[in-house]
Structure formats: C-alpha cells, structure tokens
Amino acid sequence: MKSLAYIAIVSIFLAASLTGGAQCKNFAKKICKQELAPYIHDGNFNAAILTEGEDAELFKTFYAGQEYRISICCEETLPKVEFKVFDVDKKLLYTNASNNYSTSWDFKVEATQQLIIVVKIPSDENNADIPTSGCVAIMFGLKTE
C-alpha cells in the first residue's frame, strides 16, 4: 500500500513538472523570442523553471564568421538574471554582471567552437523565507545580411 501511495505522489509531481515546463516553453515562444529582433531565432526554445540560488548550463556550438545574439529572458517576479559565457576551457568570455545585467549580448565568432552559457538566479537575502522561482529562457539569434 505504501508503494502505491509513493507512485501516486511521484506521478503527481511529474505531471506538475511537465505542465510547468510546457508553460515555460510557451513563455519563451510568446515573450522571449521577440527580444532577438532583428536577429533570426535559431528555432530552439531553451527554457526552464529556476529558483533563487539555482543555475543552469547550456552547451552550444557557434560557427565561424557568424554574428550571434544571446538573449536571456525571465518572468518579472525573478530578480536580475546573471549570465556568463565560457569557452570549453572555462575561460570567461562575457558576463552581464559587468554590463549592468544586460539581457543580451551580440558577438561574432572567429572560429567554430562550443561555448558554455551559464544562467544564475541570485539569492535575495531580504526574502530568505520563501525563494522565488520562475521561467528563465536562453534564446539564440543569428544575424542575416
């Protein structure tokens, strides 16, 4: 009987997680995609629900000679989102923390390479009782002539 209750609880949790993920993806499609303009969206919707203090990593290949925009978009309930871009050797290439927490970064890649994008929701020490969570999307755009 205990195992049946356990299965029911896990099923409810899984269903809630999938529903939240679908809502987050819709948020990325409807709100965040517009922030890439005039760059062309790459067709991928990278979005997840994060809580204060959490971070997420994404690996992406960028191709030589192309101009890109990385755009970070989150729900208004979240504090400013920090994002960093590293090469595969973990060398920091960009951080929006030194650019007034800008939500996008435009750059050109000289050589094809894989980069690591890390997004982090800083903890709010003033609101230690209940951490805020919400959708965070990482969007990629390509500049066309």
Q: In CATH, what number is assigned to the domain containing residue 99?
A: 2.60.120.380
Residues 41 and 70: beta-carbon distance below 8 Å: no
Statement: residue 106 has pLDDT above 60: yes
Q: Is 81 exposed, middle or buried (0-12, 13-18, 19+ CB in 10 A)?
A: buried
What is the pLDDT at residue 130? 78
Residues 86 and 93: beta-carbon distance below 8 Å: yes
Q: State the pTM of this model.
A: 0.78
Buried-exposed string 106-130: b where 16+ CB fall within 10 A, e elsewhere: eeeeeeeeebbbbbbbeeeeeeeee
Q: Which domain holds residue 103?
A: 2-142
Statement: residue 7 has pLDDT above 60: no
Report the domain count for the chain.
Answer: 1
Q: How confident is the model at residue 126 (pLDDT cuts 50, 70, 90)?
A: low
Give the Cα-Cα-Cα angle 67, 69, 71 (nearest 5 degrees): 170
